[in-house]
Amino acid sequence: MIRSRSPRRGAATALACLAFTGIAAGLAAPAAASGDASALPVDNAFLRASHQGNLTEIAAGQDAQKNATTSCVKNVGQALVRDHTKLDAATKALSDKLGVDLPVAPTAEQQKALENVRNKAGTSAYDTTWLAVMAAAHEKTLARIDNQVAHGRNAEVTAAAKAARPVVAMHLDMVRGGACHGTGDHTPKAIHAGSGGQAALAAEVPVFLAVPAVALGGVLVAGGAFWAANRIRRNDSR
């Protein structure tokens, strides 16, 4: 005769199953979060402003290479073109992924500032005006980056902001105070996505290590739950 399962043991089996389900869901949650392609208005605004800032710096750098009167300003202009071209490629790729439409040109204020600098081409005032405009622009960019880091909601956009910060800070060092400090050793030592939550884990742990580790953890948890359930079933049949 087969004995009916006691309520206590049945509850234990159900509890083990629920525990396994909950743990498995917890393991799956980071992957879902990291693949979330949603972005809120603050993130969208940051991507759009970053793109316009990149367009402005690229145009300013190109203009400096043609019209600056000192090699220092020409070299800084070249660095701006190089670095902001790379930053903008990353910005556009992320915007495409998140479905964020980007402006086709700098803001009216940025265009006016660029035109004001160009109007001084061929004069001694060009370099000083260019440096002052670039210093102000990079200070605004750093403030925008810090706002995204503090208030951004999308982990990928915030990680991009953190990665861009040392590059922008390096540029500001080159033109700080409206004076040309040259390129020299102004190179970011490292670019980190920062710490806190799954974004940092995704940024710092290689995929080929992170994925097997998560998979192994899931196998171990599943094995433990299966063993516990088996034990309970064997006891029930006695």
Give the model confidence (pLDDT) of 186-237 as tens digits: 555 444 433 333 333 333 334 333 334 434 444 444 455 455 555 555 555 5
Amino acid found at 199: A
pLDDT attached to residue 207: 35
Q: How far is CA 55 from CA 24, 43, 89, 103, 189, in A?
A: 45, 19, 11, 10, 25
Dihedral Cα 46, 152, 136, 170, nearest 10 deg? -100
Q: What percent of the chain has pLDDT over 70?
A: 61
Please name which of 219, 221, 166 lies closest in space to residue 19, comparing C-alpha atoms: 221
| C-alpha to C-alpha distance for 77 and 194, rounded to whole angstroms | 29
Please name which of 108, 114, 150 lies closest in space to residue 129, comparing C-alpha atoms: 114
Residues 6+ apart with CB under 8 A from 124: 69
pTM of the model: 0.65
